[in-house]
Amino acid sequence: MNNTAEPAIDWFHEEALKSYIISYLKEQKYKIVTDSTTDISVADGHIVAISRSGRKELIEVKGYPVPLKEAAKNTVKKTDAPQQARSWFSEALLTSFINFGRHSWSGKVTLALCLPKTERYHQIIKNVQAYFTANNLNLKVYLVDEDGSVEIQNLNENFLKEK
């Protein structure tokens, strides 16, 4: 599925991913309750959406890091992108758990991550799936490709993987 969102920034940055995932969710008849692109009081990268069935989803959006040159020093950042992606994934997971505590009082809530579809994030997902599967924990993952298409997975292998 191709989304019509055409962000002016690289496809794997959070702003582009938010644009793609919000377009996708609207196409799937989700109601967007809050998102950090329109409400500055919402944490950056956080989207609250309600599915057609009425289930609330808390979606944490994380991009993919790239080595950036520091303008003044013309040096590459010391943290490499794969290691930084691991930290960003961990941060998104922790933020999701914290946000669950803030929203769980309002009924059934599904936690979700929105990530760019990269080999590194696939590796990280594969590495944590055993824990989520063994403990029957549900955490949905929206993987956004360069063309804006969205693949749905879950950190729990027992949950249906949609494409």
- Tens-digit pLDDT profile for residues 49-81: 999 888 889 999 998 887 555 434 555 556 688
Q: How far is it, in rounded angstroms, from Cα 28 to Cα 65? A: 29
**All residues at 6 or more sequence positions from 145 whose CB lies less than 8 Å from its CB, including other chains:** 116, 117, 151
Tell me the pLDDT band of 107, cut-offs 50, 70 and 90: confident
Q: How far is it, in rounded angstroms, from Cα 10 to Cα 101? A: 32
67: its two tokens: 């080595």
> Which value, in Å, is the radius of gyration of the alpha carbons in the chain?
16
Ordered by start, the domain boundaries in the chain are 14-154
> In CATH, what number does 14-154 get?
3.40.1350.10
CB atoms within 10 A of CB 59: 27
| Nearest CA-CA partner of 118 in 45, 64, 59, 68 | 64
Q: How far is it, in rounded angstroms, from Cα 27 to Cα 20? A: 11
- Tens-digit pLDDT profile for residues 112-163: 999 999 999 999 999 999 999 999 999 999 999 999 999 999 999 888 644 3
pTM: 0.81
Contacts 24+ apart (CB under 8 A), 6-15: 10/66, 11/116, 11/144, 11/146, 11/148, 12/63, 12/64, 12/66, 12/116, 12/118, 12/146, 13/63, 13/64, 14/44, 14/45, 14/61, 14/62, 14/63
Selected residue with higher pLDDT from 33 and 162: 33
